[in-house]
Amino acid sequence: MEKLKSLRKQRGYTQEYMSKIISTDVSNYSRKESGDVRIYDDEWEQIRFFFKENFVLRKRQIILF
């Protein structure tokens, strides 16, 4: 999930802020971002909407369009 982490940092958002976007706690978001915990489809939709980005997840990699 390095691309998600990179995108978050490029935009200047903290893990705490992003955890609120997907309605979870910071430690859970951190584990999701690192790939230790699955990011569910509804969470991906919230992240896509927040960043206004078109991307898909393929084998734990984010592909930006």
Q: Which residues contact 65 (CB under 8 A, 6 or more apart)?
A: 54, 55, 56
pLDDT, one tens digit per residue, over 3-50 is 899 999 999 999 999 999 999 999 999 999 999 999 998 998 899 888
CATH of the domain at 26: 1.10.260.40
Q: How many domains does the chain have?
A: 1
What is the 3-state composition of the chain as percent helix, strand, coil, each rounded to the nearest 5?
55, 10, 30
Which residue range is the domain that position 32 belongs to? Answer: 2-64
Confirm whether pTM is higher than 0.75: yes
1 closest CA partner among 43, 49, 52, 24: 43
Q: What is the pLDDT of residue 55?
A: 62
Q: Is residue 39 within 8 Å of 32, Cβ to Cβ?
A: yes
Token representation of residue 25? 């706690």
